[in-house]
């Protein structure tokens, strides 16, 4: 059963939609159903997957169940991204150097003309 990685869980668009919705505040199943316009069994099934993977938890309020976010799984995704962020900044730096160089040659060609 469900020992799936967080990545497989958030691969499903409807589940991402549910998570984004819960990011603002907790909701009942019915609210999710209406706001996302998806059939109720679909919502329940995705919530079950999310619950078993630790993305959400729920509390009982009479007949309703209120679902809310739990932090850990998405933090794991965030942690996996960390090494790549260093790569991005390197890339930006390279791009800036490149643009600087273009700017230099522009200045050289056009002499003193400056745009802005």
Task: List residues near a copy of itself by CB under 8 A.
Answer: 5, 7-8, 10-11, 13, 16, 19-20, 23, 69, 71, 74-75, 77-78, 80-81, 83-85, 87-88, 91
Site residues (CB under 7 A) for DNA, limited to 78-97: none
Distance CA 51, CA 64 (A): 16
| Residue 57 DSSP SS3 | strand
| Closest separation in Å from C-beta 25 to DNA | 15
Q: Which is nearer to DNA, 17 or 76 (CB)?
A: 17
Residue 28 near DNA by CB under 7 A: yes
Nearest to 55 by CA among 19, 13, 79, 8: 19
Out of 6, 18, 19, 49, point to the residue binding DNA (CB under 7 A). 49
Residue 56 near DNA by CB under 7 A: no
Residue 30 near DNA by CB under 7 A: yes
Out of 40, 59, 75, 104, point to the residue binding DNA (CB under 7 A). 40
Neighbouring residues of 110: CB distance < 8 A, sequence distance ≥ 6: none
First-to-last CA distance in the chain?
A: 61
CA dihedral 26, 29, 32, 38 (to 10 degrees): 160
């Amino acid at each position: 059963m469900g020992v799936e990685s967080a990545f497989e869980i958030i691969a499903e668009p409807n589940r991402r939609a549910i998570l984004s919705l819960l990011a603002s505040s907790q909701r009942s199943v019915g609210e999710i159903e209406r706001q996302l316009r998806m059939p109720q069994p679909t919502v329940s099934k995705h919530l079950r997957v999310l619950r078993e993977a630790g993305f959400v938890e729920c509390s009982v309020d009479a007949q309703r169940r209120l679902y809310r976010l739990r932090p850990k799984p998405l933090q794991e995704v965030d942690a996996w991204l960390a090494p790549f962020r260093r790569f991005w900044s390197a890339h930006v730096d390279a791009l800036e150097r490149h643009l600087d160089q273009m700017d230099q040659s522009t200045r050289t060609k056009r002499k003193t003309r400056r745009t802005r």
